[in-house]
Chain A
């Protein structure tokens, strides 16, 4: 009996190795192969899947072209200025929210969460309408106030581009800075006050130096997203004649005849290197130990009373809320009820037209399926990788972790080009071209960094002992995953699914490049209505999309609350020594590196 079982165990050892190999290959194919193919694509003179020759021509052409450097310069200006503004605003609001007694400070986090969650497309379109040089609400107001024919606001300009992107990015920077600000050790400040420094000196000499690494990290990540931004530059910059790298890539594929995939790849790879370099710099700095861990117990929550400046802080909160949320929403809803932009009459015609369109209904179906499935798949994959990673040798854990973070350096348009190369050049997968499935894969890859950060946070809260105890009790690896891990992280899993699905639902770049034009998602439809000159219907569609997202989020919150009530008592996730709690949905959007798609 013993001999027979030994042979069995040896076979299993072999099986495990084959399983590991399969996992490594799958992860490599999903996350690394597209980047590799992007590289190879530079040296091909034909689009993916077509016979071509090896050549250096595209590379030379791309880097000898004046357009490339214009776009590059614009990208850098765009990324740096928006990041600077957004970090400044985010840090100021994080300070107000965590360290002062300013009124309305409790509103900051909810507002920022909404700003973060709102799709880029929403900002692009609402501000395009709001600051439209002739018909926008802002200019109408300016004309009314000055009783003249001035039109001071123009969204289709450098100023418009930078302000709108900064507003959107502020939500992200704020959420990243909130944690470090909250965790700041009050005793450092107290020591400084006792040493004789005033409040202002304490802020300048203690707080700001302490926060520098955190702020530096946010600046780098913000720059990464600024460089990769597509929706806002495409919509606002398109009319202003401002091109950045991502819009240039889109143009190379969609407006060149024949599509210039080699140029798109060259520009894309350029971005990949730049972004990877930025992230490596950030990791180096964080790793070098310059990051001061700011933990410690404050005996009481001592917030600062800013005195006369309090009302300035409150005013800043009100103004930001108006500018970043209320104005865009008002304009969007208003436009959806207008017969034409600038005509102040209300009508339901747009809704009737949109809902009567069979393509609209189909687009909502496609979007729902894309969002729900991509979120679910990304979370399942992330959970699986995370679970396997925890019980694997170090190299495998690091491989899984790093591979799932690769999409951070792949802005949507670049990822799409890479995926086209990767799948269309692979025999048997060519059929995926232009189908729902390739777009689905694209979204899964794009939201993977967020999913894997969310899962990592949740897994870290499950003591490894709990899994080992189940293994010793006789549970197989899969049973451990489903009986213990998934059960314990179910709430985090659900909120991660929600967040990734919402991001996928509002994504424009990946579906726009990968879905067939005959089967558009809602975001694509919004975009195409806008560029074909029907902004009212674009606004209507966007309103409907946002309503659908809000409805789903509310449904989720309700179910979550019901589950919470149904659980008799709070449950402690870890062994007695370590304390944890389930993450609320809001916490999910605070992993260290995130990528708005």
Chain B
């Protein structure tokens, strides 16, 4: 699981040694619920994080993702549920088991970094190791290794308030990793950085996870972070996991209208399913004279020929002009908004209003203005049939 780690000199050797039986970093959450003052924040949540996996909890604010992370860390006591890290049950409300956070052997990166201002960079990173009563020489080596891993070897003796935002972020990461945690927890770690630094740290996090292979749980509301970093994404809303899967799976075939909206689908049409084969289906939107090809969520068994569904289409799924064997849609332009990088069109097609975005529509679209007829091609890869909400 962390093959390339052994080729890394700095910080590699000891970090690899913890990967014993392949289950040490597994997190099993069963029936997790948390209520605050009567309002339910996390509701009967099940999640299995495999050893070495990088999983993101993605959702809007208030969806319960941070609470879930804090339950794993032991910073919150769940109202109900069971959490096991590796072979150890750390929380089981039914059996009254609650392992305090300081006994869970985890690493955590806080949104605010939470670097202790009265300790130097070295002191911050050494603190968890000192609590584990490691010999001084080993602590020194591990701190230096951890600093090298995050690229801060030269700053060990600085005070933390002298660091820039990005350096604080790296220090917090080094502190979380230095003690070889079973699991690395990250709570929106990049949200306090500016845009360019965020992109850079995203790449760094990717590299570091590849090097050390520690199981990581990453809380974010930023889709880009979730997609670029994760092996799997759990999309959360209202305290429940709405969909879990590889980034490509979630973005191509969302499981519900809510997830589709969340990951950026903008057009939703009531459709009738005409035929289905595997993950393909042919559907007819209500009142439309034509039919469209689309994807279906893999493994979804509720879509059957003759049934109803919702067709979700990305605004970028359209191309101008008819052609090829793709389905083409005739409509009338209602509005054109130039937005710089893209141009947004509102198209009335057979009585349905479609939002269409195109990058650099080109010279022939310059003359496009409200009232003109247009023909659009729809890519079946970017249209997906979703089950109707019950």
* Residues of chain A at the chain B interface (Cβ within 8 Å): 1-2, 5-6, 9-10, 12-13, 394, 463, 465-466, 468-477, 479, 483-484, 487-488, 568-578
* Residues in chain B near residue A479, CB distance under 8 A: 102, 131
With A2-B87, A2-B88, A576-B168 given, is the CB distance from A13 to B114 under 8 Å? no
Do the beta carbons of A463 and B112 come within 8 Å of each other?
yes
With A475-B131, A571-B159, A576-B165 given, is the CB distance from A466 to B98 under 8 Å? no
* Residues of chain B at the chain A interface (Cβ within 8 Å): 37, 73-75, 87-89, 95-108, 110-118, 127-128, 131-132, 159, 161-162, 165, 168, 175, 179, 185, 192
Q: Give Cα A470 to B73, complex, Å.
A: 12
Q: Give Cα A9 to B88, complex, Å.
A: 11
Do the beta carbons of A10 and B102 come within 8 Å of each other?
no
Do the beta carbons of A487 and B118 come within 8 Å of each other?
yes
* Residues in chain A near residue B95, CB distance under 8 A: 6, 10
Q: Give Cα A353 to B161, complex, Å.
A: 57
* Residues in chain B near residue A473, CB distance under 8 A: 102, 127-128, 131, 175, 179
Shortest distance from the beta carbon of A339 to any chain B beta carbon, whole Å: 56
Q: Give Cα A420 to B168, complex, Å.
A: 55
With A465-B112, A571-B159 given, is the CB distance from A470 to B127 under 8 Å? yes
Q: Give Cα A269 to B162, complex, Å.
A: 55
Q: Give Cα A578 to B113, complex, Å.
A: 12
Shortest distance from the beta carbon of B230 to any chain A beta carbon, whole Å: 22
| Most B Cβ at <10 Å: residue of A1, A465, A474 | A474
Q: Give Cα A568 to B74, complex, Å.
A: 36
Shortest distance from the beta carbon of A35 to any chain B beta carbon, whole Å: 29
Q: Within the complex, which residue of A472, A483, A484 is in contact with B73, where a contact is CB–CB below 8 Å?
A: A472
Do the beta carbons of A474 and B179 come within 8 Å of each other?
yes
* Residues in chain B near residue A2, CB distance under 8 A: 87-89
Shortest distance from the beta carbon of A390 to any chain B beta carbon, whole Å: 12
* Residues in chain A near residue B112, CB distance under 8 A: 463, 465, 574-578
Q: Within the complex, which residue of B37, B116, B168 is in contact with A469, where a contact is CB–CB below 8 Å?
A: B116
Do the beta carbons of A484 and B110 come within 8 Å of each other?
no
Q: Give Cα A132 to B161, complex, Å.
A: 59
* Residues in chain A near residue B127, CB distance under 8 A: 470, 473, 475, 483
| Most A Cβ at <10 Å: residue of B95, B101, B105 | B101
Shortest distance from the beta carbon of A318 to any chain B beta carbon, whole Å: 43
Do the beta carbons of A571 and B162 come within 8 Å of each other?
no
Do the beta carbons of A9 and B131 come within 8 Å of each other?
no
Shortest distance from the beta carbon of B212 to any chain A beta carbon, whole Å: 17
Residue of B nearest to A571 (CB): B117
* Residues in chain A near residue B165, CB distance under 8 A: 576
With A6-B89, A470-B127 given, is the CB distance from A576 to B192 under 8 Å? yes
Residue of B nearest to A573 (CB): B117
* Residues in chain B near residue A578, CB distance under 8 A: 112
Q: Within the complex, which residue of A1, A471, A568 is in contact with B100, where a contact is CB–CB below 8 Å?
A: A471
* Residues in chain B near residue A573, CB distance under 8 A: 117
Residue of B nearest to A464 (CB): B114
* Residues in chain B near residue A13, CB distance under 8 A: 96-98
Q: List 12 A-B contacts (CB under 8 A).
A: A2-B87, A6-B95, A10-B95, A465-B111, A469-B116, A473-B175, A474-B131, A479-B102, A483-B127, A487-B118, A571-B159, A578-B112
* Residues in chain B near residue A466, CB distance under 8 A: 114-117
Shortest distance from the beta carbon of B71 to any chain A beta carbon, whole Å: 13
Q: Give Cα A465 to B113, complex, Å.
A: 8
Do the beta carbons of B162 and A474 come within 8 Å of each other?
no
Do the beta carbons of B100 and A571 come within 8 Å of each other?
no
- A572-B117, A576-B112 known; 6 new pairs, CB 8 Å cut-off, are A463-B114, A468-B101, A468-B108, A472-B73, A472-B185, A474-B103
Shortest distance from the beta carbon of A420 to any chain B beta carbon, whole Å: 41
Shortest distance from the beta carbon of B209 to any chain A beta carbon, whole Å: 19
Residue of A nearest to B187 (CB): A465
Do the beta carbons of A575 and B179 come within 8 Å of each other?
no
Do the beta carbons of B118 and A569 come within 8 Å of each other?
no
Q: Give Cα A9 to B100, complex, Å.
A: 9
With A9-B99, A571-B117, A576-B192 given, is the CB distance from A472 to B131 under 8 Å? no
Q: Give Cα A486 to B336, complex, Å.
A: 62
Do the beta carbons of A472 and B116 come within 8 Å of each other?
no
* Residues in chain B near residue A577, CB distance under 8 A: 112, 192
* Residues in chain B near residue A569, CB distance under 8 A: 159, 161-162
* Residues in chain A near residue B74, CB distance under 8 A: 471-472
Shortest distance from the beta carbon of A119 to any chain B beta carbon, whole Å: 35
Do the beta carbons of A571 and B118 come within 8 Å of each other?
yes
Q: Give Cα A468 to B107, complex, Å.
A: 11
Do the beta carbons of A471 and B116 come within 8 Å of each other?
no
Shortest distance from the beta carbon of B278 to any chain A beta carbon, whole Å: 44
Shortest distance from the beta carbon of A391 to any chain B beta carbon, whole Å: 9
Q: Give Cα A165 to B377, complex, Å.
A: 88
Q: Give Cα A574 to B75, complex, Å.
A: 19
| Most B Cβ at <10 Å: residue of A1, A5, A9, A573 | A9
Shortest distance from the beta carbon of B35 to any chain A beta carbon, whole Å: 12
* Residues in chain A near residue B97, CB distance under 8 A: 6, 9-10, 13
* Residues in chain A near residue B161, CB distance under 8 A: 569-572
Residue of B nearest to A14 (CB): B96
Shortest distance from the beta carbon of A518 to any chain B beta carbon, whole Å: 47
| Most A Cβ at <10 Å: residue of B106, B117, B131 | B117
Do the beta carbons of A469 and B110 come within 8 Å of each other?
yes
Q: Give Cα A569 to B161, complex, Å.
A: 9
Do the beta carbons of B113 and A470 come within 8 Å of each other?
no
Q: Give Cα A9 to B185, complex, Å.
A: 22
